[in-house]
């Protein structure tokens, strides 16, 4: 599982104020802690309160690159902010994210190609959030078709079936899980799959339990990557164990430690 | 139509382990032997780099072996009565580049020699021969915990490969090996889970994973060879996929196991054949270092390695 740490996000008050005060140290500590806990890449989001997101994004990327060469997942709804991150990034990058809307794809696919970045595509469009699996598959197919048309390698595309909070869309959870498996067979080679995990427990009680249960089920459906809180140790232990049960790693008594040693 | 090879691209690499230290590195060995370092399944030269051919070490004992079959005894003759003559014969006559000395004389049933004698023996052997050494205990845990640290100290800076550490008994040996700059053999009973666990336990003590060779415990032809093969293959697949805790080279005691087979004792030729088939099969499974007994078997296996690696490019 390719784990993307979600904690460098201006919506968290500590990070928000670190960005505002240009507190480099606080950002770097947050980056390294997530990596120590098992993050393979780091999400970078300057948050909704940022008044100068272009400058903040560039600053965050530069500050994080000073302490790690892990890939950075540039997270913004504004393509200009993403491009600013891409421009200064020395590390590998993942664009987070495009929707299935042609206007968005027309901007972000050329950017991804230009900067040799990977790309996350979320199966939503201007029409709104899909209501079932078929709508998700339609949107996924249109993103893939657009990638193929523009010569962007589908292996570098991560498709996100868009996770909704369990208390808002309980009836859709099974569709979301099944979409993970079915996205993979839309094309050959297939896209990778990804979830923004914490959405599933937004606004609900027992968040951590719901996160790790949903993640386990998603892993069983073949999920490749997740944006999550790697400092949630029970979540990471559960993830490692789920992959062990799927024979992705060889068992030994210290398998949790062995995974972290990798 | 030309057949297209399906080539796997591996994320991992098997660690490279060097046995022996020359003068430049603070030792006194005339040559060193590297094993491992490959980025491919065994002998798939087109798949990834295989920098080091399978190595062969001749097995000698610190005492005259009483229970060796006639065929083996005949191959060495009188030299078996003196371990230093035996070592010389392996090197001068049979062109051994690497010796594996078993400290059998320390075993309570085979002479019960103490740590001081063991250390002296290693010290003399090191001054008499210039090839790198693999040093193996007598198999009695309590006794090995006395003699192996003494041997390790006696061979300080010579970068020997010393074993065998097992899951129930590894701490004493790991500490000595770290102090004296050697490499360790981690032995597991044809069990990949224990092999992985032992590597983690050893590295937790501070010895780098790259200084471990796995002894997966093998069976000879007809005695579980295919079982050893499947364990080695699975470990190798994991190592090449990026599991560093299983990316160690393999040491296989092919001679010892082959000559235990009753079929090996039926005729001199059959014993040699048994050892050759066992050893070459283990190469297919991923053996990086073969410990052999009969010089004729060693010669044939060595020729086989030369032919395979000549066709590398």
Q: How large is the ipTM?
A: 0.82
Q: Which residues of B touch A251 (CB under 8 A)?
A: 193, 196
Q: Residues B67-75: contacts with CB within 8 Å, 24+ apart?
A: B68/B259, B68/B293, B69/B259, B69/B264, B69/B265, B69/B271, B70/B268, B71/B265, B71/B268, B71/B271, B71/B272, B71/B294, B72/B259, B72/B271, B72/B293, B72/B294, B74/B268, B75/B294, B75/B295, B75/B296
**Residue B170 belongs to some domain of the structure:** yes
Report pLDDT for A261.
76
Report pLDDT for A42.
98
A106 touches chain B (CB under 8 A): no
Report pLDDT for B98.
98
Report pLDDT for B313.
59
**Residue B189 belongs to some domain of the structure:** yes
Closest-approach residue (CA) in chain B for A250: B193
Q: What is the pLDDT of residues A79-91, one digit of tens each?
A: 999 999 999 999 9
Q: Tell me which residues of chain B, numbers 243 to 272, contact chain A at a CB-CB cutoff of 8 Å.
A: 243-246
Dist. CA A261–CA A239, nearest whole Å: 15
**Residue B1 belongs to some domain of the structure:** no
Dist. CA B187–CA B144, nearest whole Å: 14
Give the mean model confidence (pLDDT) for residues A20-24. 96
Contact B201 A254 (CB under 8 A): yes
Dist. CA B256–CA B223, nearest whole Å: 12
Q: Is the pLDDT of residue A260 over 90?
A: no
> Into how many domains does chain B fold?
1
Report pLDDT for B6.
85
Tell me, what CATH number does B142's domain have? 3.20.20.20
Which of A251, A257, A262 lies closest to B193 in CB terms?
A251
Peptide bond just before A97 cis, omega within 30 deg: yes
Give the mean model confidence (pLDDT) for residues A45-70. 96
**Residue B301 belongs to some domain of the structure:** yes
CB atoms within 10 A of CB A107: 16
Tell me, what CATH number does A220's domain have? 3.20.20.20
Dist. CA A44–CA A68, nearest whole Å: 13
Q: Which residues of A touch B168 (CB under 8 A)?
A: none
Report pLDDT for A61.
98
Q: Is the pLDDT of residue B268 over 90?
A: no
Q: Exposed, middle or buried, B233 (CB in 10 Å: 0-12/13-18/19+)?
A: middle
Averaged confidence pLDDT in chain B: 96
As a whole-number percent, the residues of chain B with pLDDT over 90 amount to 94
Report pLDDT for A79.
96
Report pLDDT for B5.
81
Closest-approach residue (CA) in chain A for B196: A252
Report pLDDT for A214.
98
What is the DSSP secondary structure assignment for residue B4, as one 8-state letter?
Answer: P
Tell me the nearest-neighbour CA distance from A188 into chain B, angstroms.
Answer: 17
**Residue B29 belongs to some domain of the structure:** yes
- β-partners of residue B56 are B290
Task: Give the pLDDT band of residue B125 (cuts 50, 70, 90).
Answer: very high
Peptide bond just before B285 cis, omega within 30 deg: no
Q: How many CB pairs under 8 A join A and B?
A: 37
What residue numbers bound the domain in which B104 lies?
A: 16-308
Q: Is the pLDDT of residue B312 over 90?
A: no
Sign of the torsion formed by the C-alpha atoms of B141, B146, B147 and B150: positive
Report pLDDT for B53.
97
CB atoms within 10 A of CB A106: 13
What residue numbers bound the domain in which A184 lies?
A: 2-261
Closest-approach residue (CA) in chain A for B243: A262
Closest-approach residue (CA) in chain B for A247: B238
Helix (H) or strand (E) holding B253: none
The token duo for B12 is 């991992």
**Residue B2 belongs to some domain of the structure:** no
B156 touches chain A (CB under 8 A): no
Peptide bond just before A189 cis, omega within 30 deg: yes
The token duo for B268 is 């001199």
Nearby residues of A222 by Cβ (< 8 Å), 6 or more positions away: A180, A181, A184, A193
Q: What is the pLDDT of residues B162-219, one digit of tens each?
A: 999 999 999 999 999 999 999 999 999 999 999 999 999 999 999 999 999 999 999 9
Task: Give the pLDDT band of residue B4 (cuts 50, 70, 90).
Answer: confident
Give the position of tokens 């660690």. Answer: B15
> Into how many domains does chain A fold?
1
Contact A252 B194 (CB under 8 A): yes
Which of B193, B204, B242 lies closest to A262 in CB terms?
B242
Contact B200 A257 (CB under 8 A): yes
Q: What is the pLDDT of residues B18-74, one digit of tens each?
A: 999 999 999 999 999 999 999 999 999 999 999 999 999 999 999 999 889 999 999
Task: Give the pLDDT band of residue A184 (cuts 50, 70, 90).
Answer: very high
Contact A252 B203 (CB under 8 A): no
Averaged confidence pLDDT in chain A: 96
Tell me the nearest-neighbour CA distance from B194 into chain A, angstroms.
Answer: 6
Report pLDDT for A149.
95
Contact A252 B245 (CB under 8 A): yes
Dist. CA B299–CA B250, nearest whole Å: 20
Q: Is the pLDDT of residue B311 over 80?
A: no
Report pLDDT for B11.
93
Give the mean model confidence (pLDDT) for residues A32-37. 96
Q: Is the pLDDT of residue B150 over 70?
A: yes
Q: What is the pLDDT of residues A78-123, one digit of tens each?
A: 999 999 999 999 999 999 999 999 999 999 999 999 999 999 999 9
Q: What is the pLDDT of residues B296-305, one digit of tens each?
A: 999 999 999 9
């Amino acid at each position: 599982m390719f784990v993307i740490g979600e904690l460098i996000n201006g919506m968290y008050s500590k990070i928000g104020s670190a960005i505002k005060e240009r507190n480099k140290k606080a950002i770097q500590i947050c980056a390294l802690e997530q990596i120590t806990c098992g993050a393979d890449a780091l999400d970078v989001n300057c948050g909704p309160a940022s008044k100068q997101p272009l400058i903040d994004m560039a600053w965050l990327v530069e500050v994080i690159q000073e302490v790690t060469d892990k890939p950075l997942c540039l997270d913004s709804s504004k393509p200009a902010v993403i491009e600013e991150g891409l421009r200064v990034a020395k590390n590998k990058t993942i664009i987070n994210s495009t929707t299935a809307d042609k206007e968005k794809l027309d901007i972000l696919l050329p950017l991804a190609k230009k900067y040799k970045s990977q790309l996350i595509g979320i199966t939503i469009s201007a029409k709104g959030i899909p209501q079932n699996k078929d709508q998700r598959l339609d949107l996924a197919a249109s993103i893939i078709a657009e990638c193929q048309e523009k010569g962007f390698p589908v292996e570098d595309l991560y498709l996100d079936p868009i996770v909704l909070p369990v208390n808002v869309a309980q009836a859709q959870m099974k569709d979301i899980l099944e979409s993970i498996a079915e996205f993979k067979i839309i094309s050959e080679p297939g896209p990778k799959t990804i979830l923004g995990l914490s959405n599933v427990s937004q606004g609900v009680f027992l968040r951590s339990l719901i996160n790790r249960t949903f993640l386990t089920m998603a892993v069983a459906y073949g999920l490749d990557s997740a944006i999550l809180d790697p400092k949630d140790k029970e979540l990471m232990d559960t993830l490692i164990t789920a992959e062990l049960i799927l024979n992705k790693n060889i068992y030994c008594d210290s398998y949790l430690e062995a995974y972290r040693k990798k | 139509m030309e057949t297209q090879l399906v080539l796997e691209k591996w994320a991992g690499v098997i660690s490279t382990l060097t046995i022996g230290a020359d003068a430049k590195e603070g030792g006194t060995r005339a040559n060193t032997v590297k094993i491992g370092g490959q980025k491919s399944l065994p002998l798939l030269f087109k798949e990834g780099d295989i920098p080091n051919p399978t190595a062969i070490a001749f097995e000698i004992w610190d005492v005259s072996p009483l229970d060796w079959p006639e065929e083996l005894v005949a191959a060495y003759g009188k030299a078996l009565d003196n371990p230093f003559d035996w070592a010389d014969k392996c090197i001068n006559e049979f062109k051994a580049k690497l010796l594996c000395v078993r400290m059998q004389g320390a075993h309570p049933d085979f002479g019960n020699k103490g740590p001081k004698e063991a250390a002296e023996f290693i010290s003399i052997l090191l001054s008499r021969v210039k090839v790198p050494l693999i040093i193996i205990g007598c198999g009695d845990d309590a006794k090995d915990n006395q003699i192996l640290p003494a041997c390790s100290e006696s061979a300080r800076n010579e970068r020997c490969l010393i074993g065998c550490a097992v899951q129930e008994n590894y701490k004493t040996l790991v500490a000595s090996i770290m102090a004296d700059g050697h490499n360790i053999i981690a032995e597991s009973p044809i069990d990949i889970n224990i092999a992985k666990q032992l590597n983690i336990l050893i590295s937790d003590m501070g010895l780098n994973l790259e200084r471990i060779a796995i002894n997966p415990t093998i069976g000879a032809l007809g005695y579980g060879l295919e079982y050893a093969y499947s364990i080695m293959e699975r470990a190798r697949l994991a190592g090449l996929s990026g599991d560093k805790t299983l990316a160690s080279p393999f040491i296989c005691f092919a001679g010892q196991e082959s000559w235990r087979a009753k079929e090996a004792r039926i005729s001199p030729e059959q014993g040699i054949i048994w050892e050759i088939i066992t050893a070459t099969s283990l190469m297919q499974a991923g053996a990086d270092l073969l410990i052999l007994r009969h010089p004729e078997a060693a010669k044939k296996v060595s020729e086989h390695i030369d032919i395979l690696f000549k066709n590398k490019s």
